[in-house]
Chain A
C-alpha cells in the first residue's frame, strides 16, 4: 500500500512531506486508532501538558554545538525523521507532533537547565534526548522532579532504572556478554586486553566484561588501561598489547580518541585481520572519522548495523538518506534514537493518554515491529528487549553482520554477579 502511494508522489516539492509514507512499511501494521477521530484533549491530557486538539509538543535535547555535536547530530536527525514519519501517518491520537529543539552544548548543567525549561516552560509531553551518561545523570533528577518522560538512545552502563526514562539503547550486559561469548567460542579466545576512555561507561563495561571473562569464560584479563577523553597518544598501550599478546583486544574508547588509536594501532603493525579486536564503542559514525582502511577487520558488538538486511531497515536507511543526504551514515545510537518517538507514540496510543504516569505504566510490553533493528519490546524495567549482533568492519566503513543472537536478550540493568 505504501509502495503504491510512493509511485504517484515523486514531485520533488512534496518529497519531504511524503518521505514518511515511503519509508516505513511498518506504518501499515500500526493500530488503526492513529487514523481515527481524535479523542478530546481534556480526556487525554489531565496534567496540563502542551497538548491541543491538533498538536502535541515534544522536546529534542541534544548537543548541536561543542565536542559532543559530532556524535549527537545523528540522533537529532533520526528523531526528526521519526517525528516527520509519524506526522505523515496521522500523528499521535490524531494530533501532529510539534517539536522544540534545545541545544545542550556538550555541557551537562546546560542539559539540566534546558530539560527544566522544556518541562516547566514548554510543558512538553516527552523529551527525546541526551547522549552521554553525564548528560543523562544531569537530566535525570530534573525529569524525576517534574515528572517528565525521557527517551534515551545511547548504549550505556546500566545501574539505573527510572519510571521517567525509557532506555532505547542497550545496557552494558545486554551489549557485551553475547559478544564475548561469541568471540570466546569462535576464536577460542582466553586472554583479553581492555582499553577504554576514562569515564563511567567504559569502566563499568570493562568491569562487567572482566567478571564475565574470569567467572564464566574462565579466561584471563591481561591488561586494563584507561585514557582521558580526547587523548591522542596510544603508543604506550599499544606496546603493552604487543608485549602481553592477548587473544582479543576489547575496546571502549570513545570520540576522537578512536581515530588516533586505530591509526596508531595500524602503524604499529597490529594487523586486525590476525589480531582479533572487539569494540563496543565504534559505530558507522565513528568509522567515518577513523577511516575504513584503519579499522577494517575489527569486530563490533552492538544491536544495530546500517547494513542489516531486513525490509524495515532498508526503508529506514533510504528515508534517512533522502532526508539528510546520501553521504550520511547511520550508527547504533542513531537507530536507537529513531525508536524513541515511535515507542512514545505507540505507548500513548496504548495508554490512550498523554499523561506521563499513564505512559510510564503502559510502557512495559509495548512492541515496535517496525524497528530497523527488528522487533523490539519494552521490558518491565523500561529497557528494551533486543538482539545483540557482531559485525566486522569493512574497508568501505560499513559492518558485515557475522553473528546475531537467536533470541532477544533480556535487559538487566542491575546484573547479579557482575557488580
Chain B
C-alpha cells in the first residue's frame, strides 16, 4: 500500500468531493422530505460501515455484533427522548404519570435507577460514546488478549448480539421489549417530527458523518493505520516486531463500536424510534453486507454501499418483494466470489483507469472542469 503524504490522494479527493456534493447539495435539492429522511436512515448505517472498514477492512477483525453497538447508541438516545416525551402531562392517562408508557404497562411504578441520568442531554451524549466504547473494550480485551482468532471472534460477537436481543425483549419493563421505544417527540423541547426538523437533522447527520470520515482517514494515514494493515497481512511479524497486536485490535474494535453507536443515536433521532430488531444477528450481518458490497477496503466505498444497498432494499422490496431476497443473496455471493473488494474495487479496476485516461487526454487539450464521471464517456 502506497502511503501518501497528503490527507487525501487524488482519487480519494474526488471521492470526497463527489460524496459531499451528493449529500450536501444534490440530494437535498432533488428529494422531497420523505425521501431525504429515508436517506438519513440509510446514512446511519454508513456510520457502521465506516467502523467496519476500520476494524474489518484494515484490521481484519470481522465483527458480527455491530448491531449491539448500534443498538446501545440508539437506545441511549431513545431513552433520553423517551423520558422527554413522557412528561407528566403527556402521560396523565397512565396509572403512574411521568414514566414511559411501556413501564406503566408492565406495572413498574417508579423510574428505574439506571434511567435517571438520562434526564440529562450531556450525560446522554457521553453515554452514547462511552457505553458502547467500554463494552467493546471489555469484549475486545477479553478476546484479543487471549488471541482468539477471526472466525471465533465472529461467532462470539454474534452470540453477544443474540444475548442482548433476548435480554432487551425479555426485560420489557425496562426496555420496551420487542416493540422498542416508540413515539419519540422532542429534543430539549424542539420537535423532531416536522419536515423542517427532519431537514436540519439530515444536515447534522451528514456533518457528523464527514467528521467521522475525517477521523477514520486520519487513523488510516497515521502509523496506527499502517500497523493495522500490517497486522491483517502478517500478524505474527507485527507481534515479533514488538508491537502489541492485541492493543491495536482493541483500538480498532472500539472505534468501530463508537462509530456504530453514533449511527444508532442518529437513527433514533431521524426515525423516531428504536427497537431490538436493529440489535440482533440479522441486522448485524446486514451491516457487514453493506460494507462488503461497497468495498471493505474503501471508506467511501463502504458509505456508498450502505446507501445503495438500502436504497435497493426500499425500492426493490416495494415493487418485487419476492425478488428482493434472491437479489440480496445473489449480490452477496457475487461480491464474495467475484469481486471481494466490492463496488469500490470495481471502480478502481474498471472506471478509475478510464477516468485517468480521460483526464490525461483532456489535460493535454484544456483544463479539467467537472466531475461528471457517470460512465467515463466523453462529454461532448
* A→B interface (CB under 8 Å): 64-65, 102-103, 105, 107-110, 112-113, 116-117, 120-121, 133-134, 137-138, 140-141, 145, 157, 159, 198-200, 203-204, 207, 226, 228-229, 414, 419
With A134-B179, A228-B169: A120-B321 Cβ-Cβ less than 8 Å: no
Contact B177 A141 (CB under 8 A): no
Q: What is the bound-complex CA distance between A270 and B321, given in angstroms?
A: 42
Contact B34 A159 (CB under 8 A): no
Contact A134 B275 (CB under 8 A): yes
9 shortest interchain CB distances as A-B pairs: A134-B179, A137-B182, A199-B178, A103-B321, A141-B183, A137-B179, A120-B34, A65-B321, A64-B321
A124 → chain B, closest Cβ, in Å?
14
> For residue B179, which residues in chain A have a CB less than 8 angstroms away from its CB?
108, 133-134, 137-138, 199-200
Contact of A200 among B170, B178, B324 (CB under 8 A): B178
Contact A229 B169 (CB under 8 A): yes
Contact A134 B169 (CB under 8 A): no
> For residue B82, which residues in chain A have a CB less than 8 angstroms away from its CB?
none
**Nearest CB to that of B173 among chain A residues?**
A203
A396 → chain B, closest Cβ, in Å?
32
Q: What is the bound-complex CA distance between A121 and B322, given in angstroms?
A: 23
With A117-B34, A120-B34, A134-B178: A140-B170 Cβ-Cβ less than 8 Å: no
With A64-B321, A108-B277, A414-B93: A200-B193 Cβ-Cβ less than 8 Å: no
Contact B107 A65 (CB under 8 A): no
Contact A103 B275 (CB under 8 A): no
Q: What is the bound-complex CA distance between A65 and B318, given in angstroms?
A: 11
A140 → chain B, closest Cβ, in Å?
7
Contact A419 B273 (CB under 8 A): no
Contact B272 A121 (CB under 8 A): no
Q: What is the bound-complex CA distance between A204 and B321, given in angstroms?
A: 34
* B→A interface (CB under 8 Å): 32, 34, 37-38, 41, 93, 95, 101-102, 105-107, 166, 169-170, 172, 177-180, 182-183, 193, 271-273, 275, 277-278, 314, 317-318, 321-322, 324-325
> For residue A108, which residues in chain B have a CB less than 8 angstroms away from its CB?
179-180, 273, 275, 277
Contact B166 A228 (CB under 8 A): yes
Max chain B C-beta neighbours (<10 A), residue from A65, A108, A117, A141:
A108
**Nearest CB to that of B166 among chain A residues?**
A228
Contact B318 A103 (CB under 8 A): yes
Q: What is the bound-complex CA distance between A251 and B137, given in angstroms?
A: 43
**Nearest CB to that of B273 among chain A residues?**
A138
Contact A228 B321 (CB under 8 A): no
Contact of A113 among B38, B166, B169, B177 (CB under 8 A): B38
Contact B95 A419 (CB under 8 A): yes
Contact A65 B324 (CB under 8 A): yes
With A102-B318, A141-B183: A200-B177 Cβ-Cβ less than 8 Å: yes
Contact B182 A138 (CB under 8 A): yes
> For residue A226, which residues in chain B have a CB less than 8 angstroms away from its CB?
170
Contact A159 B105 (CB under 8 A): yes
With A65-B324, A103-B317: A198-B183 Cβ-Cβ less than 8 Å: no
Instruction: Pull 30 A–B residue pairs with CB atoms less than 8 Å apart, ordered by A.
Output: A64-B321, A65-B317, A65-B321, A65-B324, A102-B318, A103-B318, A108-B277, A109-B41, A109-B271, A112-B273, A113-B314, A121-B34, A134-B180, A137-B179, A138-B180, A159-B105, A198-B170, A198-B172, A198-B178, A199-B169, A199-B179, A200-B105, A200-B177, A200-B179, A203-B172, A204-B105, A207-B107, A228-B169, A229-B178, A414-B93
A328 → chain B, closest Cβ, in Å?
20
> For residue B317, which residues in chain A have a CB less than 8 angstroms away from its CB?
65, 103, 105, 110
> For residue A204, which residues in chain B have a CB less than 8 angstroms away from its CB?
105
Q: What is the bound-complex CA distance between A207 and B172, given in angstroms?
A: 14
> For residue B318, which residues in chain A have a CB less than 8 angstroms away from its CB?
102-103
> For residue B277, which residues in chain A have a CB less than 8 angstroms away from its CB?
107-109
> For residue B32, which residues in chain A have a CB less than 8 angstroms away from its CB?
120-121
Q: What is the bound-complex CA distance between A140 and B183, given in angstroms?
A: 8
Contact A228 B180 (CB under 8 A): no
With A65-B317, A103-B318, A198-B177: A112-B183 Cβ-Cβ less than 8 Å: no
With A140-B183, A159-B105, A200-B105: A112-B172 Cβ-Cβ less than 8 Å: no
Q: What is the bound-complex CA distance between A114 and B277, given in angstroms?
A: 17
> For residue B278, which residues in chain A have a CB less than 8 angstroms away from its CB?
109
> For residue A199, which residues in chain B have a CB less than 8 angstroms away from its CB?
169, 172, 177-179
Contact A198 B34 (CB under 8 A): no
A108 → chain B, closest Cβ, in Å?
5
Apart from the given pairs A134-B179, A199-B178, A200-B177, 6 other A-B contacts in the complex at a CB distance below 8 Å: A65-B325, A107-B277, A109-B278, A121-B34, A200-B172, A200-B179
> For residue A138, which residues in chain B have a CB less than 8 angstroms away from its CB?
179-180, 182, 273, 275
> For residue B101, which residues in chain A have a CB less than 8 angstroms away from its CB?
159
Q: What is the bound-complex CA distance between A234 and B318, given in angstroms?
A: 38
Q: What is the bound-complex CA distance between A294 and B303, given in angstroms?
A: 51
> For residue A140, which residues in chain B have a CB less than 8 angstroms away from its CB?
182-183
A71 → chain B, closest Cβ, in Å?
15
Q: What is the bound-complex CA distance between A102 and B317, given in angstroms?
A: 9
**Nearest CB to that of A110 among chain B residues?**
B317
B40 → chain A, closest Cβ, in Å?
11
**Nearest CB to that of A135 among chain B residues?**
B179
Q: What is the bound-complex CA distance between A103 and B107, given in angstroms?
A: 34
Max chain A C-beta neighbours (<10 A), residue from B93, B271, B321:
B321
> For residue A102, which residues in chain B have a CB less than 8 angstroms away from its CB?
318
A336 → chain B, closest Cβ, in Å?
20
